[in-house]
Every structure is written in structure tokens, then in C-alpha cells.
Copies of this chain bind each other. A is one copy, B any other.
Amino acid sequence: MPIITLTTDFGLTDSYVGAMKGVILGLCPDARLVDLSHDIAAQNVTQAAYVLAAAAPYFPAGTIHLAVVDPGVGGERWPLVVQTGRALCVGPDNGLFSPFLTEPGACAWALDRPEFWLPQVSRTFHGRDIFAPVAAHLARGVLPGQMGQLISDPVLLPLTEPVRHPDGHVTGQVIYADRFGNLITNVPAAWVAAGRWRVEIAGQQIAGIRAAYADAQRGELLALVSSGGTVEVAVREGSAAARLGVGVGAAVDFWPVEGAISP
């Protein structure tokens, strides 16, 4: 049974997600549908890209990821299929699949064959009229190349990369704030695994990087290794986002502590 995940900014109140699922099940009755998130902030392509890329590695090879955060719907952006060594993605060509497109060997096709879409295509809801039927056809074994043209220049989101400075200090950014108010940074935990570090965010100093929430007191601000493998700033059983008053885009600095002994 092919798995199709769904990621949108449609919310769970309106009929939009249901309509997409109806279209898929009509074309591929044995598809397994798994919701990743439908509460992406309206039109926030960057957030959707992060959530999808964070969950996707945990799905079996061959999973199809249908993602629709699509401020350009009805305009000139292409409908897209992306294929990597492990997954297929379907959605708009607006950067949503950047983390997949930058994998070695990734390919992208611009969809231009309406016989794989619904007979009537609106100009406001391609999730239902183009992307859902294409995902269902992929699940039935249709190849991306049968549905579109290979392209070499899909849209990529600008990268926000952490930096290791010559003096040893590291600068990064908060790239996601989760439900608990945990602030996930883009700094790999491996960069700051050896030695001792002082973390600076929003004018606050945090001593050291810990391994678990349970290594802090309730209500204490701490830096730790996130479940995604980067450094995260958190408050045990509280919200770092609320405590510090910052969110996505906030700068984070890591300073090596003088006299520290590498393990």
C-alpha cells in the first residue's frame, strides 16, 4: 500500500483537505494517507519546507509527499514533482521542496500533462485539481516523466547557514519554534560537541549544552541537542519562545569557554 503524506496551510476546519483526500482515494483506493501538518501558517513556504523535511526521513522509501502551501496558485509557477533516492514530492515550484532538491541525484519535473489532472482545473485550488490526482497517479505507478518535463532550475529557498568563525565562535539562527516554545537552531550539535560553550540568545547567557530536558530544573533555560540533531534552546516544562520573546530568525552565538578541556 503506497503511503501519501499531506502537508498544507489549509487548516482542519474547512473542506479543502477532505476534498484532496477524496480525489486521491477515488484514483488510488489503497493509498495510505498520513497527515503531517495542515496548520502551517498561511503562505509560509519556509515553515512547510522545514516541517516536511523534518518528518520525511522517518518514512519508508517510496513514500510520496504531497505538500501545498501555494501563494502563487493560478499564476505562472509550475506544478512540480521531485524525486530523490528515497521519496517523491508533489506540489508547487516555490521552494517548498528545497531540502529534497539539494540531495545528490534529485530530479524535478514541471507538470504539463492535463490528462493526469482533474477534468476541470480551477485557478485557485491546484491542491485538489492537480497535485492530489498527480500524487494518486504516482502511487499507482505512473512515472514522473510521463506527467511532465524534466527541468534543471526548480526554485530553491535562500539558505540560512550557520558559520564557524576563525576565532572559534559559532553563529547560527533559530529556524523553527515548536508547539512547546522550543527554539530549534541550524547549528549542528556536532559543531559544539567537544569543549565547553557559552550560548548567547536574545541577550541571555546559557552555560553549556546539555543532553536532555531532564538535565535541567523545571523552569530553567537550557541549550540542548534537539531531536533533529541541531542545538535547541528550551525551558524545561516551559516555553523558551515566550521567556525570551524571540522566534524564527533570532541570532544565536556560541562562544568557546576559556580553559575548557576537550573530552
Interface residues of A (CB under 8 A from B): 1, 3, 5, 10-16, 18-23, 25-26, 29-30, 32-40, 42-43, 50-52, 54-60, 63, 71-76, 122-125, 128-129, 178-180, 211-215, 224-227, 232, 237
- Contact indicator B19/A214 (Cβ below 8 Å): no
Contacts A179-B11, A227-B122; A18 near B36 (Cβ below 8 A):
yes
- Contact indicator B213/A55 (Cβ below 8 Å): no
Q: How far is the CB of A181 from chain B (nearest CB, A)?
A: 9
Find A40's partner among B13, B26, B59, B122 (CB 8 Å cutoff): B13
Find A35's partner among B12, B43, B213 (CB 8 Å cutoff): B12
Distance between Cα atoms of A122 and B59 in the complex (Å): 17
- Contact indicator A38/B12 (Cβ below 8 Å): yes
Copies per complex? 3
Q: How far is the CB of A37 from chain B (nearest CB, A)?
A: 5
Most chain B Cβ neighbours within 10 Å, of A14, A23, A76, A178: A14
Query: A74-B213, A124-B225 provided; 10 other pairs, C-beta below 8 A?
Result: A14-B51, A15-B37, A15-B54, A18-B35, A18-B36, A18-B51, A71-B213, A75-B214, A123-B224, A124-B227
Distance between Cα atoms of A18 and B48 in the complex (Å): 13
- Contact indicator A213/B25 (Cβ below 8 Å): no
